Structure 1
Amino acid sequence: MCGLAGLLRPTPDLDEATLAALAAAMGDALAHRGPDDRGVWADAEAGVALAHRRLSILDLSPFGHQPMASEDRRYVVVYNGEIYNFAELREVLVARGHAFRGHSDTEVLLAAVMEWGVEEAIARCNGMFALALWDRRERCLWLARDRVGKKPLYYGWAGEAFVFASELKALWRHPAFDNPVNLDALALLLRLDYVPAPHSIHQRCFKLLPGALLRVDAAAVARGAGGHDPARDQRRYWEPRARMAAALAQPFRGDVREAEARLDALLREAVALRMVADVPVGVFLSGGTDSSVVTALMQAQSPRPVRSFTIGFERSHHDEAHLAREVAEHLRTEHTELYVSGADALAVVPTLPAMFDEPFADASQVPTALVARLARSAVTVALSGDGGDELFFGYKRYERALRNWRWLRRLPSPLRRALARAAAGQGEASRAGGFAALAAEMGARGIGDVYRQRVLRWRDPQAAIPGAGLPETFYDLPDPLGGQGTPADAMMLADFSVYLPEDLLCKVDRTSMAVSLEARAPLLDWRVAEFAWSLPLAFKRHPGGNKHLLKRVLRRYLPDPMVDRGKRGFGAPVSAWLRGDLREWAAALLDQTRLREEGYFDPGLVHAAWRLFLDGERKWHTHLWNVLMFQAWHEHWRACRRAPGGSADRA
């Protein structure tokens, strides 16, 4: 696990030392992602430079150093992540005449590109990764990201230079990067709690989509391509909607026992591949189905007790450490739990802007940061259970949306249209649920319109952000599957395409990499995902409890009482924080004079939400948290711009 950065200039007007120094400064902003080694490569004639920070996981020797050149010297790569099937690829490549100096997956990746070309080589990789690869012969740069979007990759423009990096803080180090806030992206933040790809919080700056490739030709940069359209130029080599549609067209034909055996085998292999490392490996264990499955399969394949880690909360209904402890005792893992106080959790909040570098408002980022820090005290790699809910119908909101959709379809169309007109323009009134929330769904054209109401924060963020537009996302599709599959499949696809990579995986990546910990998610092996999509809904949604097939697999390793108990989720008591220890902090960030001077938000509307919250009206804390996360981020960003060298780490 590592950090990468680099730049491609429109004209080769800098000497090699200056170019390398620019890239090195960008790379050094990512030292937390790779504390073990640093490297830089520059080609002054081409105006390109690549920088790398390394967290050594495989091949701890100098043979794993990056930037790394291919055997024929045509390609140079900086790469963040792991290719889990690298040993299998290496065998094929050796048989085709390739020789290897070390045993890193980076060297295998370069040989694969030599053998099959960039696109086919990436498609053959099973892993989590983001990479930048310079082709010296074609004078072009390739950017690529893994299928699901576990590893991040930003790119855009700093003045006339094309720049790219694992995190925004590296782009901030470029002296010409002064890109203002993207108001449309800010509207998306208020709507979803995060900024989804391909957008970013900065203008002229984008995120590479999961499963996408981007080719950037030096000639195009020289012509000046600052108006680049990311949706047009990114190419998907793996796209969830197409893959789900293909899986639904060839459904699994066996019975539930055969499906259970197949899923167990797929998960065993996925877990085994992710246990390969030259450093200590552990697991995040919450006690829920997903993390328990991963822990059980790790322990079943390990000759020694697996290291498991859990965070508990003192005097909190969010505490589930006892559930994890019971699972750990049954599986006989080497378990570590840490109980934290409210003060411990609140101490994380001021670090969030520097940790995420883009405003991010899923408050479970706080406990996730705490468990990552705990795990890093003993291991360098930790497996997680991310992906189970999106693949196996795990969220309660899916049931609520299906209930509402069934009810709406029974109403006569004229009545629905009349109620939809009556509900129009109510803005944030539907946020509290009840009839107002249902009325907002009256005009639904499909399950996507109903489900969107389950995942939105601000219903009308443009009212709070003068001058903002609202780009469409996958959640704006009336039927995400375009008529294929069931409404349940469509909702799971929407979450897999947006919520999973942009919220859950982003949260795990930033909190783990902040402490130089690599997190791996075996449930998100692409083969597991495509198998899950091929299953009948009855294997997931079941009267005896959802995630039915995943729980059948878990019953092979745990007794029924540990499998069947409910789970509340990994949350944070934001409302109590804002009424308690964080009240003064929040009041300062939401001050009307400050909001008016900064000019991003309508100060009257935001202040009214703050007053309603303090007066006890429910649910406003979720609206306020994403405003506060932007305000805290903006304060951090301004401090970074003022700091010598623009360093995010010194701010």
Structure 2
Amino acid sequence: MCGIGGVFFHDPNELSDSQQQVSQTLVNMAAIMQHRGPDGFGYQVFPEQGVGFSHARLSIIDLNEDRARQPFISSDNKLMFANNGEFYDFQRIRADLTAQGARFASKSDSELVLALYPRFGLEGMLPHLRGEFAFSLYDKDTDTLHLVRDRFGVKPLYYTETEKGVVFGSELKVLFANPDVPREFSSEGLYHQLIQVMVPGTTAFKDIKQVPPGHIVSFQRNSQGRLERTERTYWDVNFPLAHEHDDNPDEQAYIQGVREHLLEAVQQRLTADVPVGCYLSGGIDSCSILGLAAAASQHPLKAFTIGFDSANYDETPIAKEMAEQTEADHHVMTLDGSQLYSHFEQTLWHTERTIYNTLGVAKYLMSQQVRETGYKIVLTGEGSDELYGGYPAFRKDMFLHGLDHLPPEERKEWQAALEQSNKMVKGAMLAREEFVSEAFVEKVGFTPSCVQPWLSCAPYADKLLAPEHQAAIGADYDAGAAIAETLDADMLAERHPLDKAQYVWIKTMLEGQILTWGGDRVDMANSMEARPPFLDHHLAEHAFKIPPHLRIKGNKEKWVLREAMKGVLPDTLYHREKFAFMAPPAHTDEVKWKAMRKLADRYLNKEAVEQAGLLDFEQVEALFALHDDPAITADEQVQLDAVINHMLGVQILHKFFVQTDVPAEAAKRAQALGWEA
């Protein structure tokens, strides 16, 4: 697990005429993400082709730095390759390729690509790659750069097209370390930061894009010497058509299938040349992973738990019970409110986007402790709710759109249970009031509950934007339409409502927040790799076929997973309903509120707001006044807490990535590390 960066020029002379300068820029790009790869760096250039890659390495597989150093160059000097991530089952594939005559210079899983690509081509190779990855591959024969991202977007990959060519990297700051890349908010990107939900494939910054999950973005030099971009999908979340779901399923067959696929995914992710631990909350997901990992391991595992000093949000009692049951070495980190905001800025430097809840800060602090204990890898439970219908939004959509056949009495029971369980997440994971997006209704058939709380923040964002940004996006800008337009209509057509809801969440919330500020960015901030077995694509493809009424059965979310893991889970957890793992909102804790206000005094004062030019100061003040109004409801306060976090976030992002001279900062870091071209 590492970080990658690179350049591909329209005119190769841009590199060949200034090779030393470009090479040092590549090194600087690696240095600014040294947190992703503190164990070494490398760079390679093909001067005559105008292409160069760099790499910062976190050694996980093959600890020999000289042998496993990336970027890799093929033996015929025609391919250049750099990877961020892990390919599982690589020993079997490598042995098979060796029997066919392939030769490997290292024991690295990443080197597989140099043997697979010549045999199968790019799209023929990808089905063989299992895991979490984002890689760059340059082919001299076709004069093409390929950027490829894993199926769910576990690993990040950004790119931009400048006047000189293409710049790409694992993080935005890697691109910004290149002086050819402008650092400027886009008005639309700024707007979406304030409402939490981003347009898939975009960022907060002008002309900087993400490679979408399951996609290939390629740049090929044409006959006029210009790089042409193409984008294609190699994998998608493909649920069966509604009528194809099994109406009379063999429940035990599905339960056994979940058990077998999850166990295999866990076993694959225990492969490493360094110790592997587990994140452990009090939820079914992480407890299932720890239980299976403990059963499959020859040694006791280390488990890491975040605790909060608020009983309403703390899950340590069940986590401790699970740790005792598996004889895990249990490490608990309990946080108070002041710690969360005192580390808010540093967390934002890593997330490179705003966060609505300080859970991202808590996970940043936890990954710090994981590294301090000597661990580089943990298994996590991310992806389970997405596959098996675990979120409150899914139950709500199932009730509203997928259970029309229920008799009135059963519908009343469902509705009563929903209203009771949703109280704590209203204003955050669920909208305070029903919000209808005409664009989503047209595309999906209804407005999925998962996007409603964020789209309903539009009235605040409309006012908060500075006048020039309001003018730039126009009075008629429709955030819901911008998001809905990116969704593949073919993957939504004729699907069951629950499948549609899960598809939208996976394309928006999973990739845009859970796997970014709740995953890779805060884990890799401390050089720590998180592996999510639930996002193994073999497991996912099995989960897609599970009938909706086995995912949510009798108002019980993740029913099929519960039954598959019944022997692993503590009895208390087996019977408990889904608990939203969040940090307490700021207004619920006086210490936390004071810590937030201290940060706001620095970033949301009149001078700071007007200097950045992103927000309207009068509207910032008005929003705080509204939050302090004793007449507003608790769920409205929760929503406003999120908006305040976003206001803080855009101001902090401006400081780090617009106000700061990032190329100069990257050069300083390279010099301090002694990394030179």
Indicate whether the TM-score tops 0.5.
Answer: yes
Q: Which secondary structure does the structure 2 equivalent of 1:308 belong to?
A: strand
Query: How far apart are the structure 1 equivalents of 2:604 and 2:569?
Result: 48
Specify the alignment match of 2:74 in structure 1. 70
- Worse-superposed segment, 435-444 or 571-580: 435-444
Contact 2:354-2:650 at 8 Å conserved across structures: yes
CA shift, 1:631, in A, is: 1.1
Q: Which secondary structure does the structure 1 equivalent of 2:154 belong to?
A: coil
Would the alpha carbon gap of residues 477 and 41 (structure 1) be closer, same or farther in structure 2, given more than 3 Å must change?
A: closer
Contact 2:153-2:511 at 8 Å conserved across structures: yes
Specify the alignment match of 2:133 in structure 1. 129
CA shift, 1:56, in A, is: 0.6
Query: How far apart are the structure 2 equivalents of 1:104 and 1:608?
Result: 56
CA shift, 1:640, in A, is: 2.5
- Worse-superposed segment, 584-593 or 164-173: 584-593
- TM alignment of 1:404-553, pairs within 5 A: 404-405=400-401, 437-438=433-434, 440=436, 447-451=445-449, 452-456=451-455, 458-460=457-459, 461-465=461-465, 466=470, 467-468=472-473, 469=477, 470=479, 472-474=482-484, 481-507=491-517, 508-543=519-554, 545-553=556-564
**Aligned residue type for 1:561:** T
Specify the alignment match of 1:393 in structure 2. 389
Which of residues 292, 295, 300 is equivalent to 2:290? 295
Contact 2:241-2:495 at 8 Å conserved across structures: no
CA shift, 1:587, in A, is: 3.7
CA shift, 1:559, in A, is: 4.1
Count the aligned residue pairs: 623
Query: How far apart are the structure 2 equivalents of 1:190 and 1:649?
Result: 31
- TM alignment of 1:186-265, pairs within 5 A: 186-191=190-195, 193-219=196-222, 222-223=225-226, 233-240=230-237, 243-245=238-240, 249=244, 254-265=249-260
Matched, 1:591 2:605: yes
Contact 2:427-2:453 at 8 Å conserved across structures: no
Matched, 1:624 2:628: no
Specify the alignment match of 1:609 in structure 2. 623
- TM alignment of 1:363-382, pairs within 5 A: 363-376=358-371, 377-382=373-378
Specify the alignment match of 2:354 in structure 1. 359
- Worse-superposed segment, 520-529 or 481-490: 481-490
Residue-by-residue CA offset, 1:240-268 (whole Å, 9 max, x unaligned): 2xx22479747597511111111111111
Residue-by-residue CA offset, 1:264-308 (whole Å, 9 max, x unaligned): 111111000000000010000002100011111101101111111
Query: How far apart are the structure 2 equivalents of 1:343 and 1:352?
Result: 14
Query: How far apart are the structure 1 equivalents of 2:45 and 2:570?
Result: 57
Would the alpha carbon gap of residues 283 and 158 (structure 1) be closer, same or farther in structure 2, given more than 3 Å must change?
A: same
- TM alignment of 1:634-649, pairs within 5 A: 634-641=654-661, 644-645=664-665
Residue-by-residue CA offset, 1:421-475 (whole Å, 9 max, x unaligned): xxxxxxxxx9799998237579955654252324535234344331224461148
Q: Which secondary structure does the structure 2 equivalent of 1:581 belong to?
A: helix
Query: How far apart are the structure 2 equivalents of 1:283 and 1:250?
Result: 34
Query: How far apart are the structure 2 equivalents of 1:552 and 1:326?
Result: 19
Contact 1:9-1:221 at 8 Å conserved across structures: no
Contact 1:248-1:534 at 8 Å conserved across structures: no
Query: How far apart are the structure 2 equivalents of 1:409 and 1:604?
Result: 51
Matched, 1:26 2:40: no
Would the alpha carbon gap of residues 454 and 447 (structure 1) be closer, same or farther in structure 2, given more than 3 Å must change?
A: farther
Query: How far apart are the structure 1 equivalents of 2:2 and 2:315?
Result: 32
Would the alpha carbon gap of residues 441 and 236 (structure 1) be closer, same or farther in structure 2, given more than 3 Å must change?
A: closer
Structure 1: where are the runs of 5+ without partners? 411-429
**Aligned residue type for 2:221:** A
Q: Which secondary structure does the structure 1 equivalent of 2:80 belong to?
A: strand
Matched, 1:278 2:277: no
Two-structure CA RMSD over aligned residues (Å): 3.1
Would the alpha carbon gap of residues 395 and 588 (structure 1) be closer, same or farther in structure 2, given more than 3 Å must change?
A: same
Residue-by-residue CA offset, 1:195-220 (whole Å, 9 max, x unaligned): 34311222121100001101111348
Query: How far apart are the structure 2 equivalents of 1:299 and 1:34?
Result: 28
- TM alignment of 1:143-162, pairs within 5 A: 143-162=147-166
Query: How far apart are the structure 2 equivalents of 1:323 and 1:370?
Result: 21
Query: How far apart are the structure 1 equivalents of 2:3 and 2:428?
Result: 41
**Aligned residue type for 2:96:** V
Contact 1:168-1:358 at 8 Å conserved across structures: no
Query: How far apart are the structure 1 equivalents of 2:490 and 2:427?
Result: 23
**Aligned residue type for 2:627:** F
Would the alpha carbon gap of residues 439 and 291 (structure 1) be closer, same or farther in structure 2, given more than 3 Å must change?
A: closer
Contact 2:4-2:54 at 8 Å conserved across structures: yes
Query: How far apart are the structure 2 equivalents of 1:490 and 1:472?
Result: 18
Query: How far apart are the structure 1 equivalents of 2:324 and 2:288?
Result: 14
Query: How far apart are the structure 1 equivalents of 2:99 and 2:429?
Result: 61
Query: How far apart are the structure 2 equivalents of 1:503 and 1:448?
Result: 22
Which of residues 568, 572, 575 is equivalent to 1:557? 568
- Worse-superposed segment, 206-215 or 441-450: 441-450
- Worse-superposed segment, 300-309 or 373-382: 373-382
Higher relative contact order (CA 8 A, sep 6+): 2
Residue-by-residue CA offset, 1:548-588 (whole Å, 9 max, x unaligned): 01111221223432321245332122323663222132144
Residue-by-residue CA offset, 1:350-396 (whole Å, 9 max, x unaligned): 21222123334443201211222222223111000001111111111
Structure 2: where are the runs of 5+ without partners? 407-425, 673-677
Q: Which secondary structure does the structure 1 equivalent of 2:35 belong to?
A: helix
CA shift, 1:81, in A, is: 0.3
- Worse-superposed segment, 562-571 or 76-85: 562-571
Query: How far apart are the structure 2 equivalents of 1:434 and 1:391?
Result: 19
Specify the alignment match of 2:414 in structure 1. none
Specify the alignment match of 1:422 in structure 2. none
Would the alpha carbon gap of residues 624 and 278 (structure 1) be closer, same or farther in structure 2, given more than 3 Å must change?
A: same
Would the alpha carbon gap of residues 78 and 432 (structure 1) be closer, same or farther in structure 2, given more than 3 Å must change?
A: closer
Query: How far apart are the structure 2 equivalents of 1:434 and 1:48?
Result: 46
**Aligned residue type for 2:455:** L
- TM alignment of 1:81-160, pairs within 5 A: 81-160=85-164
Contact 1:360-1:630 at 8 Å conserved across structures: no
Which of residues 41, 59, 63 is equivalent to 2:62? 59
Query: How far apart are the structure 1 equivalents of 2:667 and 2:428?
Result: 41
Would the alpha carbon gap of residues 184 and 315 (structure 1) be closer, same or farther in structure 2, given more than 3 Å must change?
A: closer
Would the alpha carbon gap of residues 440 and 43 (structure 1) be closer, same or farther in structure 2, given more than 3 Å must change?
A: closer
Contact 1:10-1:221 at 8 Å conserved across structures: no
Q: Which secondary structure does the structure 2 equivalent of 1:278 belong to?
A: coil
TM-score normalised over the length of structure 1: 0.88
Residue-by-residue CA offset, 1:471-496 (whole Å, 9 max, x unaligned): 61148879895342321111111111
- Worse-superposed segment, 399-408 or 54-63: 399-408
What's the % identity of the aligned pairs?
27
Residue-by-residue CA offset, 1:507-562 (whole Å, 9 max, x unaligned): 21011101101100001111111111101112111126210011112212234323
